[in-house]
Amino acid sequence: MIIQLEEKLSAKRKENILSKVNAIGYKTNEVRTHKGDYLVCIGKKEFDIRGIGSLEGVLDVHRVSESYKLVSGKWKVNPTVIDLGDGVKIGGGGLALMAGPCSIESEEQVKKIVDHLVKNNVRIMRGGVFKPRSSPYAFRGMGMDGLKMFSKVCRKNGIKIITEVMQVSQVEEMHDYIDVFQVGARNSQNFNLLDALGKVDKPVLIKRGMSGTIDELLQSAEYIFSNGNERLMLCERGIRTYETAYRNTFDLNAIPVLKEKTHLPVIADPSHGIGVREHVAAVALAAAVAGADGIIYEVHEKPEEAASDGQQTLNFLESEELVKRLRKLIS
Ligand code: PEP
Ligand code: MN
């Protein structure tokens, strides 16, 4: 059960609500975000919900039986819209585009990609400076110096930044240079990181783990929300299956299913989703038809020279073509 509390509730009224909920055998968790105050109540017993709804200080009350509560679409009918400022919004209709290289490599590389994005009216740039790599000998990213440069070039050109945060200690140092924190597939269940991201005032995109279920993804998002941050979006990026003909299996099913289960924006990552450059556009288009709120994909001036994931990265021509096709599709 989720209880939405009135703003600036007196301690006495809150105490009364808590004791009534405890009396019906439910445990309470208090959640405060920049948007509202909630009580997430966990229990199994049957009770008359009207008894709670009529208590003073209760704005609304909803029964949510799923393991995840605050990210469920059951209590919040209106979709969550993430406003990054300057007219850049994600969710609530339309298709948000985020594009950029797998890794930030140099100022020259960033400038060229920013020019490409500006030209195509793509307002959000992706690019990792902390790269989770299977091999410790592979390029692991430019780190904070790279992020500062990336941020400077983007801010100058009105482009918003999404980039991966790998550990709790990076959250604070990255904060001022980014617009959206990305939680990678490998950190989808790094609960300490999720807790920390619940305490920041910036949106978070959380990727599905490589072998994560839909339910686990939603519960990971619940970690962040229940810690106080409801500016969240979910990302399908392909899962590991027995198939070896491509890098990952993009789970198209996840798009409509997530859209049904949650009010959060659902983003598709066709680049990691299939991992094969020639087929990235087909997967992106399919995800848009399936109802995705946004597409995040990899683009580089010279994919064959990219420091990471070149095999799934579009060149500028392919990227321009994809943007045109996506916009035509949703218009
Ligand atoms: C990335 O976005 O470059 C990345 C590492 O993605 P994922 O976490 O989905 O593998
Ligand atoms: Mn990548």
For 109-140, what is each residue's pLDDT tens digit?
999 999 999 999 999 999 999 999 999 999 99
- pLDDT surpassing 90 at residue 80: yes
247 Cβ inside 6 Å of ligand 1? no
Predicted TM-score (pTM) of the model is 0.97
Looking at residue 203, its amino acid is: P
Residue pLDDT, tens place only, 11-25: 999 999 999 999 999
Cα separation, 238 vs 260, in Å, equals 19
Atom 6 of ligand 1: nearest residue by CA position: 184
Residue pLDDT, tens place only, 282-300: 999 999 999 999 999 999 9
Atom 4 of ligand 1: nearest residue by CA position: 184
Quick one: pLDDT band at residue 65, thresholds 50, 70, 90? very high
Which is the closest atom of ligand 1 to the Cα of 182? 2
Cα separation, 113 vs 120, in Å, equals 11
Atom 10 of ligand 1: nearest residue by CA position: 185
CA of 150 to the centre of ligand 2 (A): 17
CA of 153 to the centre of ligand 2 (A): 21
Instruction: Choose which residue among 134, 182, 272 to substitute to test ligand 1 binding: the one with the highest number of ligand atoms within 8 A of its C-beta.
Output: 272
CA of 74 to the centre of ligand 2 (A): 34
Cα separation, 273 vs 287, in Å, equals 10
- Average pLDDT of the residues in 3-17: 95
Beta partners for 201? none
- pLDDT surpassing 90 at residue 51: yes
* Residue found under tokens 């599709």: 329
- Average pLDDT of the residues in 244-251: 98
272 Cβ inside 6 Å of ligand 1? yes
Cα separation, 1 vs 40, in Å, equals 6
CA of 272 to the centre of ligand 1 (A): 7
Atom 9 of ligand 1: nearest residue by CA position: 185
What pLDDT was estimated at residue 118?
98
What pLDDT was estimated at residue 170?
98
Contact predicate 289/325, CB 8 Å = no
Helices assigned H by DSSP within the chain: 11-23, 49-53, 107-119, 143-156, 168-175, 191-197, 214-226, 254-261, 270-274, 280-289, 316-330
Residue pLDDT, tens place only, 194-246: 999 999 999 999 999 999 999 999 999 999 999 999 999 999 999 999 999 99
Which is the closest atom of ligand 1 to the Cα of 309? 3
Who contacts 47 (Cβ-Cβ below 8 Å, separation ≥6)? 24
Contact predicate 127/104, CB 8 Å = yes
* Residue found under tokens 């924006």: 265
Q: What percent of the chain has pLDDT over 90?
A: 98
Length of the chain counted residue by residue? 331
Residue pLDDT, tens place only, 252-279: 999 999 999 999 999 999 999 999 999 9
Among 140, 95, 104, residue whose Cα is nearest residue 125: 104
Quick one: pLDDT band at residue 77, thresholds 50, 70, 90? confident
- pLDDT surpassing 90 at residue 52: yes
| Terminal-residue alpha carbon distance, the chain | 39
